[in-house]
């Protein structure tokens, strides 16, 4: 039996995964366009290797193999980033629908992480 999640906790988890995966995926032409450079950062620096290891462990725990590889390769968590076509080739998917299918799997995987992760597991990273 799955316990009911507190809506506030779900928002925290959603914010964590959306901020992590959105910030990795967005490319800005200049630092002036990047909203991250428009707000003074007074936080302590985080160790990207530790965060990647943590994300990969959450992904292994909650995602199926295809979802795991799509996120890992899309965002370059332990390797270089790959294009949707390259990910589709790696996973043996149809090249005709590679971009759409990889995007669908990426969204499903992030939604699954949000649904299965407790706020107390990510609060230290916010």
- As a whole number, mean pLDDT of residues 101-115 equals 91
Q: Binning pLDDT at 50, 70 and 90, where does residue 1 land?
A: very low
How many domains, in total, are found in the chain?
Answer: 1
Cβ atoms 56, 78 nearer than 8 A: yes
121: in domain: yes
Taking only the tens place, the pLDDT of each residue in 13-50 is: 787 777 777 655 555 555 555 555 555 555 555 677 78
Cβ atoms 105, 67 nearer than 8 A: yes
39: in domain: yes
- As a whole number, mean pLDDT of residues 79-108 equals 90
CA terminus-to-terminus distance, the chain: 29
111: in domain: yes
18: in domain: yes
With 90 as the cut, is the pLDDT of residue 69 above it?
Answer: yes
1: in domain: no
Cβ atoms 72, 78 nearer than 8 A: yes
Rounded (10°) CA dihedral 16, 18, 20, 22: -160
2: in domain: no
User: CA-to-CA distance for 55 and 31, rounded, in angstroms?
Assistant: 26
pTM, to two decimals: 0.65
Range(s) of the domain holding residue 80: 7-125
């Amino acid at each position: 039996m799955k316990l009911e999640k507190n809506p506030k906790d779900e928002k925290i988890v959603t914010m964590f995964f959306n901020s992590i995966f959105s910030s990795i995926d967005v490319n800005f032409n200049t630092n002036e366009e990047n909203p991250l450079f428009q707000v003074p950062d007074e936080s302590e620096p985080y160790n990207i290797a530790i965060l990647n290891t943590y994300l990969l462990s959450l992904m292994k725990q909650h995602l199926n193999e295809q979802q795991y590889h799509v996120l890992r390769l899309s965002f370059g968590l332990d390797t270089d980033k790959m294009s949707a076509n390259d990910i589709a080739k790696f996973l043996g998917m149809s090249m005709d629908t590679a971009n759409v299918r990889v995007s669908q799997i990426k969204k499903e995987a992030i939604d699954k992480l949000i649904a299965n992760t407790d706020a107390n597991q990510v609060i230290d990273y916010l």
